[in-house]
Structure formats: C-alpha cells, structure tokens
Chain A
Amino acid sequence: MKLFIYKLILFVLLYLVIRQAIIYLVPYYWGNSCYLSKIKYLKESNLKPNVVFFGSSRIYRQVNPNLYDSIYFAHNKTKIESFNFGTPGNFPPQTYYLLNNFIESEIAQNCKLIFLELSNFINIDKVSLTQERVYYWTNLNFLILIIKSTIKRKDLSVDGKIEIIKNYINVFLKKVLGIGLFYDALKKENLYDELFLGPDKNGYVSLDYEFLKTSSEDLANRKKSLDILDLERRLKYASSRKEELNEIVDRVHLQYLYKMIENASKHGIKLIFILPPRNSSQILSNLANALPKNSVVDLSKNKDFYTLENSFDNGHLNSKGANLFTYKLFELYSQQN
C-alpha cells in the first residue's frame, strides 16, 4: 500500500511539474482570447498606453479610447494614448487578475490612470463552470478571497453560499490540474482575432460595428429584444439605490479594492472605479459608497443611457451611446479630480 501511495504521489508530482513548466510557457491571459489579442497587438506595436479601461462588455462596447484621447487633448492640450482592455463576460476576480498582472507588466510602464468597472464577484454557474475563461485566472489567493467574501455575505442563503464556494473550488482544481492548459499552450497563437481590437485598433468594439461585420444571429436577436420598458425599469432601479454608506457592505471585497488602489499607487497609477449604467444593484452601491468619493465615477443614473436612441440591446449602449458614455466619463472624472 505504501509503495502504491508513494508512486502515485510521485507520478502526480511529476505531472504537476510538467504542468507548471507549461504555465511558464503560456501567458497569464491564456484563457481569454479577447484580452490575448489586445495584449499581442500592443506588444507587437510596442505601444504603452497612458490610460486603460478594464471591465466587462460594458467597458469593451462602451468606452471609445480615441474619443477619450481627443477630449483629453481638447481640455489639457496634452496628447495621451488610451486603450480599452474590456472583454466580454469579464467580472471579478478575473478582472482583478488581469489588472494586477497588467500593472506588473512592461506594457504598463507609461500607464498613469486605470478605469476599472466596479462589479460584484461573479457567481459561477453550472453552464460556465467548464469554460477556460472561468478558471484560467484562479489561484489560491482568489479562492480564499471568494470563500471569505461569500461566507460573510448577508444577501445569500446558506445553499447559495455552498453552491458558489463549491463552484469556485471546482474551477480552482481545474486550474491546478491544468485542464485545457496544454491545448491552449499549443494553439495560443490561433486565439488571436483582429476583430477584438476594433476598427481603430484601440480595443473598443461597439456592438453596432460587430453586428455589421459579423451579421451574428445572436446580436440580431439581442437587438430585436430591446425594450423601452426594460430600460425604464433599470433606470428606476438605479435611481432608487441608496447613496448612504450601508452596513451591508462586502468588507472582504472592499478591503481587496483598497489593496488594489494601494498597489496601483505604488506603480504610480491612479485607480478609478466606474459604475456603468444597466448593471447596478444595492450591493454594488454599498461597495461604491464605501470607497473614497473621488475614486468612483457613477454613471449609472444618467437618464441618457436608458433611451432607445442610445441603446443596442437592453444591457448595452450603441456606438452613439458609447460616445456619450465616454464623454460623460471624462467629464465626471475631471470634475471629481
């Protein structure tokens, strides 16, 4: 029996050594083809942006860096270069993982300002459980963070907490076992897609543009489902959120955000959080309220972002709305700082 256990452990260690060697070969963003494409482009073009935007599709589809740069220039007479690192379905902890690694990388050398979409930790469901994009970023620190945060959350039932923790342990183990890792190490170059860079190669891809390029049935259906009543409901919900500091704040999450602010500051970078429209919740508001006032740009209650004119679908703005969003982002940030 001892020999069996000994050999089994030895074999597993051998496998983990090989897996670790592969991890050194693949980049930290190996599971996210959109982010990979952006980083690859910046590396090849030797570009080092001054301002970057991180977040989900609400950043990816709604922040136009070229416009941001021209507005900045118009106000400050200084040229800057910004870049949109938003990727679809990118929520914490994945966003934090990418951002932390970005800050340590060479590409962040000239970076002075990072806008980060404020969002709750993603609840990994059974459907997304096996997608590489769900587990490529996980590590022990994030696992502990999620477990602590989930246990202390008062908005979840016991069953809900168990489900979330179980799913996160599951994705963590997938990462440990290197599932999907070897294939991506082999094919990582093929994950590159120019479409992710957008027409101006600044990482911004409006849904209008993508729809034009791909004629995707999914996008067509989303466009068709645009409903003013849904937009009004979201605006009403956003407007009804309380602004006062609330005791039901995720302190674990908050503490981590403070650490991120501190870490960014050590690298000479200012970290600003964005509350975009159509994704608000009281929990998120509580988090925003607990952060330093001038570090949060709240665009969630602006009525202009809930009109049919500025919308592509119920969850996102169209290019017109995105331009307005970019403008308002700059305006509000400038006012606060």
Chain B
Amino acid sequence: MLFNSIEFLIFLPIVFLIYWFVVQKNIRLQNMLIVLSSYFFYGCWNWKFLSLIIFSTLVDYSIGILLYRTENSHRRKVLLWTSILVNIGLLGFFKYYNFFIDNFIEMFSILGITLNPYSLNIILPVGISFYTFQTLSYTIDIYKRKFKPTIDITAFAAFVSFFPQLVAGPIERASNLLPQFNQYRKFDYNQAVDGLRQILWGFFKKVVIADSCAIYSNMIFNNSSDFSGSELIIGAVFFAFQIYGDFSGYSDIAIGTARLFGFNLMQNFAFPYFSRDIAEFWRRWHISLSTWFRDYLYIPLGGSKGGTSIKIRNTFAIFLVSGFWHGANWTFIVWGLINAIYFLPLLLTNNNRNNLDIVAKGKLLPSFRDFISILTTFILTVFAWVFFRAESLTDAFGYLKGIFSSTFFSIPFKGELKRDLILLIFFLFFFVVIEWIGRQDKYALEALSIKSNRFFRWFFYLILIIAITINMGEENSFIYFQF
C-alpha cells in the first residue's frame, strides 16, 4: 500500500478512528491495533513476506531478553552474532545474492573460467533494509547495556512493524520509539494538527516535486545520448530534487502519520541542500541511516580517533557500506566512494564540524560566501547523484561525458519550454522558497501555525492540496522502497 494511494486514504482514517475512539484507554489494545494494521499495510504489498518481519521480530525479541539475562560474555557474543547474522543474512540473501553471484561469475570469466550461472528470481521485500537495521540496533544496544529489552511482545512487534516508518524509515532507535509504545497516549490536538500539516507537506514534496521532476529526469537519463550537455545538467538537477522530494516527502508523511497516533519519530532530513559543505550535508541527509552507520559501524571501528590511515579506512568503510546498502549495483558503491572522497579532506583537516547550525540563522538571506558554499556543495552532490541514478557505471560515465562535451553551454531545449516544464520550474522555486523560510524548524511548514492566521493557513493548505491533485496521476512508488 502506497501513501499516495486511495487505499491509504481509506486505511488511515479507519485505523485512526478505532485507535482513538475504540481502544484509546488500553495501551495493549492500541499496540495490538498498530501491529495488526501494520501487518495489513505491509501485507497489501505481499502478504507472504510478512513471515520475514514476524521472524525477525521473534528472533530479536528472544535474543534481546536472553542478552539482558545472560552475564556470560561468550554467550552474549554468540547471541549478538546470531542476531547480526539473521538480520544481515536476510538482507544479504534477498538484496545481494544475485549481485554476488553475477560478479563472482564475471570475475571467473575474466580468468577464462566459465561457471554455470545460478541466479535466483528473488523479489526484494519492501522495507527489509529498514526494519532489519531497526531490530539490529535494538539487540546491539542491549548488548552494550545501553538499553533494557522489553518483555511485551506486542509492544516490540509494534516497534518493528509500525506502519508509518516500516517500509522507508526513519530507522528508529529502540531508545526513542519503544518506550513510546509503553506509555499512555493521550490525543493531543496540536500534535495531530501538526502531524496533518507535515503529511500535507510530505505529499506536496512527493507528488508535486518528486514525481514531476521524475518525468524529466527519467526522460533525460534513459535517453542521455539524445540530449545536450546543458540538458543533461538539468536532468541531474531534476533528479536531485526528485530524490530529495521523494525521500524527504516520505519521511514527512511517516513522521506526520506517527504524530496522528501520538508518536514522535526522529527527524530524517534537515534541509540538506542548504548545506555549506559535504560534512554538513551528511548530517542533514537521511539522518537515521547516517547516524546508524556512525554509531554501529564508524565508532566501533575507531571513528575519527587514531591515525590518518585509520580515519581514511573508517571513512571509506562507512561510505562504501552506505552506498552498498542502497542497492546491489556498482553504481551505488561508486556513489559512496565519491562521497567518501568529498568528505575525507574535511575530516583530515578537522573541518568536518564547521557548520553545525543552519545557514543564515535568524537572517533572511545567506551571505555571499554561504551562498557560494551552498551552491558548491549542491553541485558536488548532483555530480554524485549521476552515479546513484544511472543503471550502470558505463551509463554514468557516458552521462558525465555528455555533460562535459561541446554542448555544455548550449541553450537547453532550444529555448522552448513547454507549459508543464514552466509549471514545474515555478513549483520548484516555490518549494525552495518555502523550505528556505522554514529551514530553522523540523520541517518547512512547522512554524506556519504560529506565524499566520487561520484564513491564510487554510488558503495555503488548499493551494497545496490543489497542487497535489493537479499532479496526482500515476501512483508512483517511493524511490527508497527499492532499498
């Protein structure tokens, strides 16, 4: 079931009404409702893969309790590694089996040895990269004695399968989300209204920005040899907005939906395209994943402590694994590698924590220097996105070659802009302005309730809804569903 579907529009109010009108006085029943509705939500995509979520839930629930009760260090390690192997094993099999087999075969073919290929027709279960990481963080935190396990299986199952964030994050930490399932939840008007507002903004980002940009970015990326250098640049820029609108839009819808039920999820995007350097970008993009890798991979490897070689190793490790997490393709690995190359100089010169606050805080416009920094960082990320979007390394290099060709300075689309493209540029401009104005908040519209009267707010909401219904055509799935 997609968020941007009629099915979800029917599903959400039903669950909401039952949650707050039927079972509101009983936490266990509320949690049970969340589990059942989450399983239904997921099952609408493929009910057979519910077994994986249930399996992962039961394994980590059991291991969590055993880990807490066991003092024997060897046994604790065995339990931890069981959890890691089960979760990474599931992820590895469903996501990477064919990748490894294909590369294995190719490697041998280079040596002149032909192997009989045995690729499996494996369907990637939606959300597996997210919920496996979520449950893994639970067992790791218990192992490190940072967190106590829950004995309430319903609460734990609800934590693992919570439908707003099940299929594309944010990847929640047990310390943040699990206690919320054990607390009495009272309906909060302001929280619910804010949640709806965030959902609306999320839909705008997804339907108006991301899906509209996708039309052009897909057209250009899929036929890159037919376009000039300047048009290829535009295609890459459109993809940058597509992926941001798509993913951050999903996160906004997830967070907003969770708020309707009285839950607070972590912020997943903090206006990354206003970053002044790559380090800041990675503190603002897909925060739940980058902090996961920081806490469970980077820091255990030594982090930025130790000599230069350790720092370099750890930086490459985290970015390459992050790239690989996104998909079983060399393009994602190269994308991670490029970002590592961007990040490393900042780390080695101790400039990776220069810009901790939002740009131009308290000011209307950025300084000229900040503007150039923002622009430079954006261009670097767009360059890397080419690899993320391309189907293969050959396509990616071909795309870049096309950009840096003699047609680099040619007038794009021969100066003839279709009405749809003009409308899209207008929406992009509107979007960037709204995001800029709201950059100091958790999401762009958060301050709207404080800064404006009801008439203006409702008018603004209607404009957004009309813009959404104008652009709502195909029910395009979210990009990160494939991860």
A-B interaction: yes
Q: Taking A1-B187, A14-B458, A130-B474 as contacts, is the C-beta distance between A177 and B469 under 8 angstroms?
A: yes
Assembled-state Cα–Cα distance A50/B475 (Å): 42
Q: Are A182 and B473 in contact (CB under 8 A)?
A: no
A182 near B470: Cβ-Cβ < 8 Å:
yes
Contact B469 A180 (CB under 8 A): yes
Closest 10 CB pairs of A and B: A183-B470, A173-B6, A170-B6, A1-B187, A130-B474, A179-B472, A179-B469, A182-B470, A182-B466, A4-B192
* Interface check A229, CB cutoff 8 A: no
Contacts of B471 in A (CB 8 A): 183
Given A11-B461, A18-B462, A173-B9, do A1 and B469 touch, yes or no (CB 8 Å)?
A: no
Whether B419 is near chain A, meaning CB under 8 Å from some CB there, is: yes
Chain A contact residues, majority secondary structure = helix
- Tell me if A187 is interfacial: C-beta within 8 Å of chain B: yes
User: Which residues of chain B from 92 to 131 have any CB-CB distance to chain A below 8 Å in the complex?
Assistant: none
Residue pair B7, A4 in contact (C-beta under 8 Å): no
Within 8 A of A (CB), among B418-474: 419, 458, 461-462, 465-466, 469-474
- Which size class do B's interface residues fall under? 20 to 34
From B187, B462, B465, B473, contact of A180 by CB (8 A): B473
Q: Is residue B22 contacting chain A, with contact meaning CB distance below 8 A?
A: no
Q: Contact between B419 and A187 (Cβ–Cβ < 8 Å)?
A: yes
Q: A173-B9, A187-B419 are in contact. Are A180 and B472 (CB under 8 A)?
A: yes
- Taken residue by residue from 197 to 209, chain A's Cβ proximity to chain B (1 for < 8 Å, 0 otherwise) reads as 0000000000000
CB distance from A224 to the nearest CB of B (A): 24
Q: Tell me whether A15 is interfacial, beta carbon within 8 Å.
A: yes
Interchain CB contact under 8 A, A1 and B473: no
Contacts of B474 in A (CB 8 A): 130
A15 touches B472 (CB 8 A): no
**Cα separation A180 to B124 with both chains bound (whole Å):** 32
CB pair B470 A174 closer than 8 Å: no
Contact assessment for A15 and B465 in the assembled complex, using a CB-CB cutoff below 8 Å: yes
Q: Which of A1-20 contact B (CB under 8 A)?
A: 1, 3-4, 7-8, 11, 14-15, 18
A296 within 8 A of B: no
At the interface, yes or no: A178 with Cβ under 8 Å from chain B? Answer: yes
Instruction: State A229–B91 Cα separation when bound (angstroms).
Output: 49
Which B residues form the contact surface with A (CB < 8 A)? 6-7, 9-10, 20, 187, 189, 192-193, 196, 419, 458, 461-462, 465-466, 469-475
21 example contacts (A-B, Cβ-Cβ < 8 A) are as follows: A1-B20, A1-B189, A3-B189, A4-B187, A4-B193, A15-B465, A18-B462, A129-B475, A130-B474, A130-B475, A131-B473, A132-B473, A170-B7, A173-B10, A180-B470, A180-B473, A181-B469, A182-B466, A182-B470, A187-B419, A190-B419
Nearest B residue (CB) for A1: B187
A182 to B473, CA, bound (A): 12
Q: How far is the CB of B215 from chain A (nearest CB, A)?
A: 14
Other A-B contacts than A180-B470, A186-B470, 16 sampled, CB-CB below 8 A, are A1-B20, A4-B187, A4-B193, A15-B462, A15-B465, A18-B466, A129-B475, A130-B474, A130-B475, A132-B473, A169-B6, A173-B9, A173-B10, A174-B6, A177-B9, A182-B466
Distance between Cα atoms of A174 and B466 in the complex (Å): 13
**Binary per-residue interface labels of chain A (147-167) against chain B in the complex, 1 for a CB within 8 Å, 0 otherwise:** 000000000000000000000
Q: Could you say which of A1, A11, A181, A186 contacts B458, with CB atoms under 8 Å apart?
A: A11
Q: In this complex, what residue of B is CB-closest to A186?
A: B470
Closest Cβ of chain A: how far from B194's Cβ, in Å? 11
Minimal beta-carbon separation of B173 from chain A (angstroms): 29
Give the complex CA separation of A15 and B474 in angstroms: 22
B470:A14 contact, CB within 8 angstroms: no
Q: Which residue of B lies closest to A187 (CB)?
A: B419
Enumerate chain B residues within 8 angstroms of A131, measured Cβ to Cβ: 473
Interface 1/0 per residue, A180-221 and B, CB below 8 Å:
111100110010000000000000000000000000000000
Across the interface, name the chain B residue whose C-beta is closest to A19: B469
Expressed in whole angstroms, the Cα–Cα distance for A7 and B470 within the complex equals 24
In the complex formed, the residue of A with least CB distance to B24 is: A1
Complex Cα–Cα for A136 and B183 (A): 46
The smallest beta-carbon distance between B6 and chain A, in angstroms, is: 5
In the complex the two chains form, what is the Cα distance from A127 to B446 in whole Å?
37
Distance to closest chain A CB from B197 (angstroms): 12
B6 surroundings in chain A (CB, below 8 A):
169-170, 173-174
Q: How far is the CB of A3 from chain B (nearest CB, A)?
A: 6
Report the bound CA distance from A18 to B464 in whole Å: 14
Instruction: Enumerate chain A residues within 8 angstroms of B473, measured Cβ to Cβ.
Output: 130-132, 180
Q: How far is the CA of A170 from the CA of B475 in the complex (A)?
A: 12
Write out the residue numbers on chain A whose beta carbons fall within 8 Å of the beta carbon of B475: 129-130
Q: Smallest Cβ distance from B245 to chain A, in angstroms?
A: 19
Shortest C-beta distance, A286 to chain B (Å), equals 33
A4-B189 Cα distance, complex, nearest whole Å: 6
Alpha-carbon distance A186/B20, docked complex (angstroms) = 40
Q: Given the complex, which residues of A lie within 8 Å of B419, measured CB to CB? A: 187, 190
For residue B188, give the distance in angstroms from its CB to the closest CB of chain A: 9
Residue of B nearest to A126 (CB): B475
Expressed in whole angstroms, the Cα–Cα distance for A181 and B465 within the complex equals 12
Query: From residue B426, how far is it (CB to closest CB) to chain A in Å?
Result: 13
Q: How far is the CB of B203 from chain A (nearest CB, A)?
A: 12
On chain B, the residues within 8 Å of A170 by CB distance are: 6-7
How many Å lie between the Cα of A36 and that of B474 in the bound state?
22
Cα-based distance from A130 to B469 in the complex (angstroms): 12
Chain B residues, CB < 8 A from A129: 475
Shortest beta-carbon distance, A178 to chain B, in Å? 6
* Residue numbers in B under 8 Å from A4 (CB-CB): 187, 189, 192-193
Residue of B whose beta carbon sits closest to that of A18: B462
Q: A217 to B192: give the CA distance in the assembly, Å.
A: 52
Nearest Cβ on chain B to A329's Cβ, whole angstroms? 37
How many whole Å from B478's CB to the nearest CB in chain A?
Answer: 16
Given the contacts A18-B462, A173-B9, A182 and B189 also touching, CB distance less than 8 Å: no
In the assembled complex, how far is the CB of residue A12 from the closest CB belonging to chain B, in whole angstroms?
10
